[in-house]
Structure 1
Amino acid sequence: MDHNQHIAELAPLLEGVGIKQLILCPGSRNAPLIQLFTRNHSFSCHSIVDERSAGYVALGMARQLYEPVGIVTTSGTAVLNLAPAVAEARYQNLPLFIFTADRSPEDIAQFNNQLIDQFEPFQRNVKGFYELPPQAGDKKELMEILSQVENLAYAALAAPRGPVHFNVPLNEPLYENLPDPFIYLAGSGSVSEPEGENSPDSGSLSGNSKILFLAGMGGGQEEMRTLLEELTGSMQAVVVAENIANMPSDRFIANPELLIAAADEQEQSDLVPDFVVSFGGQVVSKQLKLFLKSHEHRLLQLKADPLPELRNMVNTAGIGTGESTNSYLQAWKNLEKRLIIKSLHFIENAGFSNLTAVHRIFSSLPGDAVLHLGNSASIRYSQLLPLRKDLMYYSNRGTSGIDGCVSTAVGAAMVSDRLHVLVVGDLSFVYDSNALWNNKFPDNLKIIVLNDGGGGVFRLIEGPGRMDFFEEYSVTHHPVSLELIAQAYGRRAQRAGDMNNLEEKLANLFLPDPGISILEVDTSGSKNSSIFRDFLTHNRK
Structure 2
Amino acid sequence: MTKHQIEMTQYLAAFIEEIVQAGVKEAVISPGSRSTPLAMLMAEHPTLKIYIDIDERSAGFFALGLAKASLRPVVLLCTSGTAAANYMPAVVEANLSNIPLVVLTSDRPHELRGVGAPQAIDQIHLYGHHVKEFVEMALPEASAELLNYAKWQGARAVDIALKAPRGPVHLNFPLRQPLMPLLEPSPFSGEQKRHHVHIYSTNETVSSELLAEMLTLCHGKKGLIVMGDLQVAPALAAQIVQLSHQLGFPVLADPLSQLRSFGQNEYQVIDQYDSLFRFASVKEQVRAEVIIRMGAMPVSKFLSQYLETLVDARHIIIDPGSMWRDPIKAATDMVHCDETVFVEGLLASVDQAQRDSEWYDQWQRLNRLSKTCMNQYLAAIETLDEGKVVAQLQQHLPNEAALYVGNSMPIRDIDTFFIQTNKQVRIVANRGANGIDGNISTALGMSVTQQPMYALMGDVTFYHDMNGLLMARTHQLNLTLIVINNNGGGIFSFLPQSESPRHFEQLFGTPTDISIEKAANLYDATYHAVQDWEDFQDTLDRAEHHKGLNIIEVKTNRYENVVTHRSVWDNIKAVIDHELL
| TM-score normalised according to structure 1 size | 0.92
2:318 is matched with which residue: 299, 302, 312? 302
SS in 2 for 1:370: strand
1:146 is matched with which residue: 136, 140, 151? 151
Contact kept, 8 Å, 1:158 with 1:193, in 2: the verdict is no
More off after superposition, 109-118 vs 433-442: 433-442
1:437 is matched with which residue: 470, 489, 495? 470
Please name the residue that 1:332 is paired with.
363
Give CA-to-partner distance per residue, 1:177-228, whole Å, 9 cap, x none.
Answer: 25736463422444355699xx874244233222222221122223422432
Contact kept, 8 Å, 1:370 with 1:393, in 2: the verdict is yes
Please name the residue that 2:328 is paired with.
none
Alignment partners' CA distance in 2, 1:330 and 1:442: 50
SS in 2 for 1:3: helix
Alignment partners' CA distance in 1, 2:39 and 2:549: 33
1:481 is matched with which residue: 515, 521, 528? 515
Please name the residue that 1:86 is paired with.
91
Alignment partners' CA distance in 2, 1:516 and 1:150: 36
1:259 paired with 2:276, answer yes
Give CA-to-partner distance per residue, 1:283-329, whole Å, 9 cap, x none.
Answer: 111110011112222222213221222222223324x2698x53222
1:186 paired with 2:196, answer yes
Alignment partners' CA distance in 1, 2:571 and 2:104: 53
Give, as a single letter, the amino acid of the residue that structure 2 aligns with 1:381: D
Please name the residue that 1:393 is paired with.
427
1:499 paired with 2:504, answer no
SS in 1 for 2:446: helix
1:77 is matched with which residue: 66, 74, 82? 82
SS in 2 for 1:29: coil
Give, as a single letter, the amino acid of the residue that structure 1 aligns with 2:511: H
Alignment partners' CA distance in 2, 1:91 and 1:156: 13
CA separation of 1:465 and 1:505: change in aligned 2, threshold 3 A? farther
Q: Which runs of 5+ in 1 are unaligned?
A: none
Give CA-to-partner distance per residue, 1:360-400, whole Å, 9 cap, x none.
Answer: 23222333321111111111111122233422111111111
Please name the residue that 1:271 is paired with.
286
Q: Structure 1 residue 33: deviation in Å?
A: 0.7
More off after superposition, 360-369 vs 176-185: 176-185
Give CA-to-partner distance per residue, 1:72-94, whole Å, 9 cap, x none.
Answer: 11111111111111111112211
1:122 is matched with which residue: 123, 127, 142? 127
Please name the residue that 1:3 is paired with.
7
CA separation of 1:437 and 1:475: change in aligned 2, threshold 3 A? same
SS in 1 for 2:145: helix
Alignment partners' CA distance in 2, 1:434 and 1:463: 31
SS in 2 for 1:437: helix
Alignment partners' CA distance in 2, 1:44 and 1:317: 47
CA separation of 1:175 and 1:514: change in aligned 2, threshold 3 A? closer
Q: Structure 1 residue 14: deviation in Å?
A: 0.8
Give CA-to-partner distance per residue, 1:433-471, whole Å, 9 cap, x none.
Answer: 111112444453111100001111111234443262321
What are the equivalent positions in structure 2 for 1:346-357 lying under 5 Å apart? 346-352=377-383, 353-357=385-389
CA separation of 1:468 and 1:106: change in aligned 2, threshold 3 A? farther
Please name the residue that 1:509 is paired with.
543
CA separation of 1:135 and 1:441: change in aligned 2, threshold 3 A? closer
Contact kept, 8 Å, 1:224 with 1:307, in 2: the verdict is yes
Contact kept, 8 Å, 2:403 with 2:427, in 1: the verdict is yes
1:344 paired with 2:366, answer no
Please name the residue that 2:248 is paired with.
236
Moved over 4 A (4+): 192-196
What are the equivalent positions in structure 2 for 1:384-423 lying under 5 Å apart? 384-385=416-417, 386-390=419-423, 391-416=425-450, 418-423=451-456
Give, as a single letter, the amino acid of the residue that structure 2 aligns with 1:243: P
Give CA-to-partner distance per residue, 1:464-489, whole Å, 9 cap, x none.
Answer: 43262321111101121111111112
1:172 paired with 2:177, answer yes
Please name the residue that 1:468 is paired with.
502
Alignment partners' CA distance in 1, 2:154 and 2:16: 11
1:311 paired with 2:316, answer no
Q: Structure 1 residue 52: deviation in Å?
A: 0.7
What are the equivalent positions in structure 2 for 1:10-89 lying under 5 Å apart? 10-89=15-94
Please name the residue that 1:208 is paired with.
220
Contact kept, 8 Å, 2:205 with 2:341, in 1: the verdict is no
Alignment partners' CA distance in 2, 1:150 and 1:519: 43
Alignment partners' CA distance in 1, 2:154 and 2:547: 46
Please name the residue that 2:407 is paired with.
375
CA separation of 1:383 and 1:228: change in aligned 2, threshold 3 A? same
Q: Which runs of 5+ in 2 are unaligned?
A: 321-337, 575-581
Alignment partners' CA distance in 1, 2:538 and 2:558: 20
Alignment partners' CA distance in 1, 2:548 and 2:244: 47
CA separation of 1:48 and 1:364: change in aligned 2, threshold 3 A? same
Give, as a single letter, the amino acid of the residue that structure 2 aligns with 1:363: Q
1:427 is matched with which residue: 451, 460, 482? 460
SS in 1 for 2:369: helix
Please name the residue that 2:577 is paired with.
none
Please name the residue that 2:331 is paired with.
none
Q: Structure 1 residue 67: deviation in Å?
A: 0.9
Alignment partners' CA distance in 2, 1:443 and 1:55: 17
Give CA-to-partner distance per residue, 1:139-171, whole Å, 9 cap, x none.
Answer: 123323432332232111111111111111111
Please name the residue that 2:229 is paired with.
217
Alignment partners' CA distance in 1, 2:508 and 2:28: 34
Give the paired residue count: 533
Give, as a single letter, the amino acid of the residue that structure 2 aligns with 1:375: N
Alignment partners' CA distance in 2, 1:521 and 1:467: 26
CA separation of 1:227 and 1:364: change in aligned 2, threshold 3 A? closer
Contact kept, 8 Å, 2:402 with 2:454, in 1: the verdict is yes
Give, as a single letter, the amino acid of the residue that structure 1 aligns with 2:117: N
SS in 2 for 1:529: helix
CA separation of 1:218 and 1:144: change in aligned 2, threshold 3 A? same
SS in 2 for 1:338: helix
2:397 is matched with which residue: 361, 365, 390? 365
SS in 1 for 2:135: strand
Alignment partners' CA distance in 2, 1:205 and 1:525: 47
Contact kept, 8 Å, 1:131 with 1:166, in 2: the verdict is yes
Give, as a single letter, the amino acid of the residue that structure 2 aligns with 1:446: T
Contact kept, 8 Å, 2:223 with 2:289, in 1: the verdict is yes
Give, as a single letter, the amino acid of the residue that structure 1 aligns with 2:286: L
Alignment partners' CA distance in 1, 2:399 and 2:155: 41
More off after superposition, 401-410 vs 453-462: 453-462
More off after superposition, 382-391 vs 179-188: 179-188
Please name the residue that 2:115 is paired with.
110
C-alpha RMSD of matched pairs (Å): 2.3
SS in 2 for 1:331: helix
| TM-score normalised according to structure 2 size | 0.86
